[in-house]
């Protein structure tokens, strides 16, 4: 089976083809970052309209790259939520109608299931069960992944998501939106011993997170230090480094706790923040030190992409999951409400 994947939940149009024979055959991404940069955040209406302009040419490009015709596609997977309603509707309407016209099945994929399974596009893929740390622009969650489609929420952020905290802190430091990756770059020039920021909620039991206090702490440090320090550039880098260190260490503490609590040994990183190099390296060492193994997708599959949607959709379509001709999108959608995938049928 060859499945065309369509991702349009936020500000990235991602298209990919995943096949039973050959795996990931092609993938293309169009990022709207430049379109939204001047507003300092994603403008939902502009996002939806731009997906409309980009999706069809990107599908043509992806088919060409895979040396396939439309008639070679046997199923369509589109992101059905969670995300921006207008943006989701563009991908869902397009995916559902292309499938209807071709007489092939379509399936609405959960965006976070896509993120969770992105590490399976790499080799070696993590075996089930595992603990997943999902750290993205909208979510920070620890999830016990018992099997395909069997997700148990262990803990989550009570306020800002990790990616949101990166972006807001980057803004404080004068970096353009979305500043997460730029903040990480700046941090490489920072002195790790200059400041020590708090590791929120690590001194009490549990697997929940809170990042909004850390963001405020950074803002206060930035204001106070400007009164005494004159080396502005180095100061920004030192603060960026202290913030990144605090987030990375907090995530490591909670991941080790999650493995101890569940008795599992495999940890999978997913979502945009897992592209962070320091997080990947330090997590791998910290988990290896307790006898565990860490898996993560290549950086381009940590942030939004069509490949993870094509893959998750391919799994569900191969398992025989069917959808009616009508379609629905879910701007909010609980991950643990998904039906499990019958593994034996899927692979
Ligand atoms: P969600 O998946 O929760 O709906 P989203 O799709 O907007 O949210 P992703 O595309 O998974 O989120 O991730 C984007 C986030 O990842 C942004 O907040 C961005 O700043 C952050 N990010 C990307 N690269 C890095 C990096 N190297 N270091 C830290 N953060 C990063
Ligand atoms: Mg994005
Ligand atoms: Fe995402």
301-316 pLDDT, tens digit each: 999 999 999 999 999 9
The Cα 267–Cα 295 span in angstroms is: 6
The binding site for substrate consists of: 134-138, 167, 180, 276
Distance from Cα 112 to the centre of ligand 2, integer Å:
13
Does any ligand 1 atom lie closer than 6 A to the CB of residue 10?
A: yes
Q: How high is the mean pLDDT of the chain?
A: 97
Q: Would you state the pLDDT for residue 347?
A: 53
Residue 250: is its pLDDT beyond 80?
A: yes
Please give the number of the atom of ligand 1 that sits closest to the Cα of 12.
Answer: 10
Beta carbon of 113 within 6 Å of any ligand 1 atom: no
DSSP-assigned letter for residue 301? G
**Residue 310 contacts by C-beta under 8 Å, 6 or more apart in sequence?**
3, 4, 5, 16, 17, 18, 24, 27, 77
- Ligand at minimal distance from the CA of 280 is 1
**Residue/partner pairs of 175-180 with CB below 8 Å, 24 or more apart:** 176/37, 177/36, 177/37, 177/39, 177/40, 177/41, 178/33, 178/137, 180/137, 180/272, 180/273, 180/276
Give residue 221 CA to ligand 3 midpoint distance, Å.
30
How large is the average pLDDT for residues 7-35? 98
State the average pLDDT over residues 26-37: 97
Residue 129: DSSP 8-state: S
Ligand 3 midpoint to CA 270 (Å):
9
- Using the predicted structure, report yes or no on whether residue 184 has a pLDDT greater than 60: yes
pLDDT at residue 304, rounded to an integer = 98
Give the ligand at the shortest distance from the Cα of 277: 1
| Domains of the chain with CATH codes | 2-117+301-346 (3.30.420.40), 127-296 (3.30.420.40)
Predicted confidence (pLDDT) at residue 345 exceeds the cutoff of 90: no
Rounded CA separation 117/119 (Å): 5
Q: State the residue for tokens 């480094």.
A: 241
E strand or H helix at 7: strand 2-7
ipTM (interface pTM)? 0.99
């Amino acid at each position: 089976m060859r499945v065309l994947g369509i991702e349009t939940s936020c500000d990235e149009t991602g298209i990919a083809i995943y096949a039973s024979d050959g795996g990931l055959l092609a993938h293309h991404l169009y990022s709207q970052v430049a379109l939204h940069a001047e507003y300092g955040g994603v403008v939902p209406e502009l996002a939806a309209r731009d997906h409309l302009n980009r999706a069809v040419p990107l599908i043509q490009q992806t088919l060409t790259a895979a040396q396939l015709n439309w008639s070679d596609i046997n199923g369509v997977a589109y992101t059905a939520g969670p995300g921006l309603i207008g943006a989701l509707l563009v991908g869902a309407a397009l995916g559902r109608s292309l499938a209807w016209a071709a007489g092939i099945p379509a399936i609405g994929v959960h965006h976070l299931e896509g993120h969770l399974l992105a590490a399976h596009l790499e080799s070696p893929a993590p075996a089930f069960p595992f603990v997943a740390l999902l750290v993205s622009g909208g979510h920070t969650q620890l999830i016990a992944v018992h099997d395909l489609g069997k997700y148990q929420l262990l803990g989550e952020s009570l306020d800002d998501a990790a990616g949101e905290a990166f972006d807001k802190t980057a803004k404080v430091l004068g970096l353009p939106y979305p500043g997460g990756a730029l903040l990480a770059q700046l941090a490489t020039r920072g002195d790790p011993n200059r400041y020590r920021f708090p590791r929120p909620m690590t001194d009490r039991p549990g697997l929940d997170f809170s990042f909004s206090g850390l963001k405020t702490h950074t803002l206060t440090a930035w204001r106070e230090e400007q009164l005494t320090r004159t080396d502005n550039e180095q100061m920004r880098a030192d603060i960026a480094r202290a913030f990144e260190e605090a987030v990375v260490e907090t995530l490591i503490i909670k991941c080790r706790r999650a493995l101890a609590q569940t008795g599992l040994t495999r940890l999978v990183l997913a979502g945009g923040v897992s592209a962070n190099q320091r997080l990947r390296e330090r997590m791998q060492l910290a988990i290896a030190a307790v006898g565990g193994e860490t898996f993560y997708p290549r950086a381009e599959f940590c942030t939004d992409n069509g490949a993870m949607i094509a893959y998750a959709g391919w799994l569900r379509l191969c398992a025989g999951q069917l959808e009616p001709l009508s379609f629905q999108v879910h701007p909010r959608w609980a991950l643990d409400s998904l039906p499990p995938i019958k593994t034996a049928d899927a692979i």
